[in-house]
């Protein structure tokens, strides 16, 4: 990706582009300058039957990335340094949501409220109607194109942001960590932010920490074609043998009373039907500092793991907690904000 970042501005208008590479096109304004945001609603690659997409809309998102984005100035903001920018998004490493939260969907289906065009445009319409709403478009910028009018909204010079989707885990693509696209809309009147996340079905959930390419031998979902006619059966977003189906982080003592080192803890629940052997599993903080854990957890039971103080450290200013297995594959991950960690001696509970 040539130039990753986030555009902060206001929503003005949207149009539906339903050609061979369909998008919801959003017109944004930043201090009198126009930008077009091209939001994929279907893959453009391969036979039509294989152009699958998965999506998630979170209607009340709370994450350090949102807090950091609110601090950015209006306009285009480069996010060159990945996680060090705090606002850069990574679907796997930022722990904004769980992979199992995403749902498969077609971009266009007869009937109301049942396709991606409609879900995306409902969100965009809310942003347009509330005059104080702020839009954050994460992706790759193009322009300004001084002599080329925008093909949908006809403003000059052409400007925009695209790749508003996951940008890793695909074969032969420009993969990268902390380069994923998304759309976050802040509604100040209600104090709520909503977010849209998109992923193509051929992109995988376990990627290399260096170049974000698929990890060999990690569980993957076989490509599932969409039939030429009839309804679309939901495909598995996460394979049955995925580590994501083994355990969850359900609580953490981020801000204990007295000094934090040696008193912070993470609670892990076994959500599988088997005894989990946690030998050489690790708990990581946002900077990838690790505590190695051990022991076992029976199905349906939870165990509290106290951190050593010399490995993973849970910042009171907000951060992430990630659980990986002995093969180095992610099992679960959560994130918390500064506001959630403000009360000393109170654990943060993750649903």
**Which tokens is 265 given?**
């803890």
Cα gap 60→57, rounded to integer Å: 9
Confidence (pTM)? 0.94
282-295: per-residue pLDDT in tens?
999 999 999 999 99
Cα distance between residue 193 and residue 191, in whole Å: 7
Q: How many percent of the chain have pLDDT more than 90?
A: 78
Mean pLDDT of 179-207: 95
CA distance 202 to 50: 9
219: number of Cβ within 10 Å: 17
Residue 226 has pLDDT above 70, yes or no: no
Task: Look at 34-48, 51-65, 130-144, 159-173 and tell me which has the smallest mean pLDDT.
Answer: 34-48
- Among 132, 141, 129, 123, smallest CA distance to 35 is for 141
In tens, the pLDDT along 138-169 reads 999 999 999 999 999 999 999 999 999 999 99
Mean of all residue pLDDT scores within the chain: 92
d(CA 279, CA 284): 15
Structure tokens at 61: 């998102």
CA distances from 142 to 7, 38, 342 (A): 11, 11, 40
Per-residue pLDDT tens digits for 55-99: 999 999 999 999 999 999 999 999 976 666 789 999 999 999 999
pLDDT at 169: 93
Q: Which helix (H) or strand (E) holds 71?
A: helix 64-71
What pLDDT does 104 receive?
Answer: 87
Class of residue 147 by CB neighbours under 10 A (exposed 0-12, middle 13-18, buried 19+): exposed
Distance in angstroms (rounded) separating the CA atoms of residues 192 and 199: 24
**If you average pLDDT over residues 329-342, what whole number do you get?**
97
Tokens of 34: 């126009």
The distance from CA 252 to its chain's CA centroid, rounded to whole angstroms, is 21
Determine how β-strand 134-145 pairs with β-strand 182-187.
antiparallel
Could you tell me the maximum CA-CA distance found in the chain, to the nearest angstrom? 65
Nearest Cα to Cα of residue 38 among 19, 56, 54: 19
CA 118, 122, 128, 134 torsion-angle sign: negative
Spatial separation of the C-alpha atoms in residues 318 and 334, rounded to whole Å: 11
Cα 206–Cα 194–Cα 240 angle in degrees, nearest 5: 30
- pLDDT of 213 reads 94
Residues near 110 by Cβ (< 8 Å), separated by ≥ 6?
A: none
Which residue, among 200, 236, 222, has the nearest Cα to 45 in the 3D structure?
200
- The predicted structure's pLDDT at residue 222: 79
* pLDDT over 90 (residue 53): no
At residue 173 the predicted structure's pLDDT band, cuts being 50, 70 and 90, is low
- Beta strands 33-40 and 158-162 are parallel
Partners of 141 in beta bridges:
161
67 vs 279: CA distance, rounded Å: 36
pLDDT at 50 over 60: no
């Amino acid at each position: 990706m040539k130039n990753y970042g986030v555009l902060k501005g206001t929503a003005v208008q949207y149009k539906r582009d339903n050609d061979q590479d369909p998008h919801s096109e959003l017109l944004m304004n930043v201090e009198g300058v126009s930008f077009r945001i091209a939001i994929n609603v279907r893959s453009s690659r391969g036979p039509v039957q294989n152009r699958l997409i998965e999506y998630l809309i979170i209607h009340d998102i709370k994450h350090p990335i949102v807090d950091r984005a609110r601090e950015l100035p209006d306009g285009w903001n480069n996010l060159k340094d990945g996680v060090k920018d705090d606002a850069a998004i990574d679907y796997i490493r930022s722990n904004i949501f769980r992979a199992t939260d995403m749902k498969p969907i077609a971009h266009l289906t007869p009937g109301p409220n049942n396709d991606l065009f409609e879900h995306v445009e409902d969100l965009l319409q809310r942003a347009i109607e509330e005059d104080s709403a702020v839009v954050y478009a994460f992706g790759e910028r193009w322009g300004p194109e001084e002599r080329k009018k925008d093909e949908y909204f006809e403003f000059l010079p052409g400007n925009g942001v695209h790749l508003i989707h996951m940008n890793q885990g695909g074969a032969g693509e420009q993969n990268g960590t902390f380069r994923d696209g998304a759309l976050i809309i802040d509604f100040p009147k209600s104090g709520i932010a909503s977010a849209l996340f998109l992923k193509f079905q051929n992109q995988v959930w376990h990627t290399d920490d260096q170049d974000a390419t698929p990890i060999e031998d990690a569980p993957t979902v076989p490509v599932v074609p969409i039939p030429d006619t009839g309804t679309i059966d939901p495909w598995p977003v996460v394979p049955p043998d995925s580590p994501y189906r083994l355990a969850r982080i359900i609580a953490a003592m981020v801000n204990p009373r007295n000094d934090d080192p040696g008193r912070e803890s993470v609670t892990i629940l076994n959500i599988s039907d088997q005894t989990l052997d946690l030998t050489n599993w690790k708990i990581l903080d946002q900077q990838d500092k690790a505590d190695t854990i051990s022991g076992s957890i029976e199905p349906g039971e939870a165990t509290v793991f106290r951190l050593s103080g010399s490995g993973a450290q849970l910042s009171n200013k907000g951060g992430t907690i990630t659980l990986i297995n002995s093969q180095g594959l992610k099992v679960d991950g959560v994130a918390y904000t500064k506001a959630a960690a403000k009360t000393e001696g109170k654990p943060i509970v993750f649903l």
